[in-house]
Amino acid sequence: MIVRVLGSAAGGGVPQWNCACANCAAARAGRAPRRTESTLAISPKAAQGRHWFLLNCSPDIASQIEAFPPLQPPHGRFTPIGDVLLTDANLDHIGGLAVLRQSTSRRIRVRSTAVVREIAAAQPSFAHFSVPPHLWLDVPLDEATTLRGDDDVAGDWLEIRTIAVGGTTPGYDGRRDVRGAVVAYEITETLSRERLLFAPIFSTINEALADAIASASVAFLDGTCYSDDELATTGLGEKRARTMGHQPVGGAGGTLERIRSAQGRMIFTHLNNSNPMLDPHSEAYVAIAASGAEIAYDGMELTL
């Protein structure tokens, strides 16, 4: 399985258009890498790079496709992208669907929980994907399903298990506490049996998510904020990480502490522009490195 990080930042990217914090200033000046909003692309071994699945679809998807030739059309009005799996209905995770609205000779299938579909497809910008030629499919919670592309390749390519995690519906939907509003995806390649976990947003690590982290070959985890009061301490706002639905990476009970015994490769993604993990001279960055975990970056590529 080929895994490509198309974007590694939280909403707004780094630099964020309305922010002059130290991290944004460093990115503008070229002292730190720029980051687009979080999206992952995967291609199973059986697909031989001809079919790609997107995990979330950020508003930056057009530039992300242009930065990665395997996602560009090989001919005519065609796309190698066949399926888009959504973890939630936050605009920074679904906004790219509006970019992909033009028709192609390959039908794009959107997959999400029923809760996410009902919220997102009710918005005019995304309703297009709930009618032909596109297809919006509900994924069952806490169950496994098999996926394959529409190429002439025999057999199932991936086993997908959808894990309900802590979180609420987006702010534009009132932040309702509904099961299925936020999920993680455990993706197992049928040929290699290597297991990828994609969990870019969660407010807590529940038992199901903890088990998935423990069994993952590679886990992409919510790295939005290093501390709960990060926005306040950097002078960028008053909201706390947990209030926004993100478990902090550091501190007592933080994600770094919870994954200490994990055997797989742990990678933090979806980093907010306020996060000190973006600064290689910070204590937060040193703590991540010392733990053996990693920080995702745009263009990062893995082969499982």
Each of the 304 residues of the chain gets a pLDDT tens digit; together they read 999 999 999 999 999 999 999 999 999 999 999 999 999 999 998 888 889 999 999 999 999 999 999 999 999 999 999 899 999 999 999 999 999 988 777 888 999 999 999 999 999 989 888 888 778 999 999 888 888 766 544 456 899 999 999 999 999 999 999 999 999 999 999 888 899 999 999 999 999 999 999 999 999 999 999 999 999 998 898 899 999 999 999 999 999 999 998 999 999 999 999 999 999 999 999 999 999 999 999 999 999 9
Q: Please count the other Cβ atoms lying within 10 Å of the Cβ belonging to residue 211.
A: 13
Alpha carbon of 242 to those of 50, 115, 246, 272, 277: distances in Å? Answer: 39, 21, 5, 14, 18
Q: What is the pLDDT of residue 132?
A: 80
**Alpha-carbon dihedral of residues 58, 186, 126, 37, nearest 10 degrees?**
-10
Q: What is the pLDDT of residue 140?
A: 93
Distance CA 210, CA 212 (A): 5
Do residues 165 and 206 touch, judged by C-beta distance below 8 A? Answer: yes
Token pair belonging to 20? 């002059």
Distance CA 136, CA 279 (A): 39
Bridging pattern class, strands 195-199 and 183-189: antiparallel
Q: What is the pLDDT of residue 150?
A: 62
**Sign of CA pseudo-dihedral 35, 36, 37, 41:** negative
Token pair belonging to 136? 């919006």
Write out the E strands in the chain.
2-7, 39-43, 52-55, 81-85, 109-112, 135-138, 144-147, 158-164, 183-189, 195-199, 218-222, 265-269, 294-295, 301-303
pLDDT in tens, 8-55: 999 999 999 999 999 999 999 999 999 999 999 999 988 888 899 999
Q: What is the pLDDT of residue 152?
A: 47
Do residues 205 and 258 touch, judged by C-beta distance below 8 A? Answer: yes
- 3-class DSSP state of 63: helix
Distance CA 132, CA 30 (A): 44
pLDDT in tens, 155-189: 568 999 999 999 999 999 999 999 999 999 999 99
Best CA proximity match to 182, nearest among 197, 196, 163: 163
Distance CA 53, CA 1 (A): 11
- Looking at residue 134, the DSSP 8-state letter turns out to be S
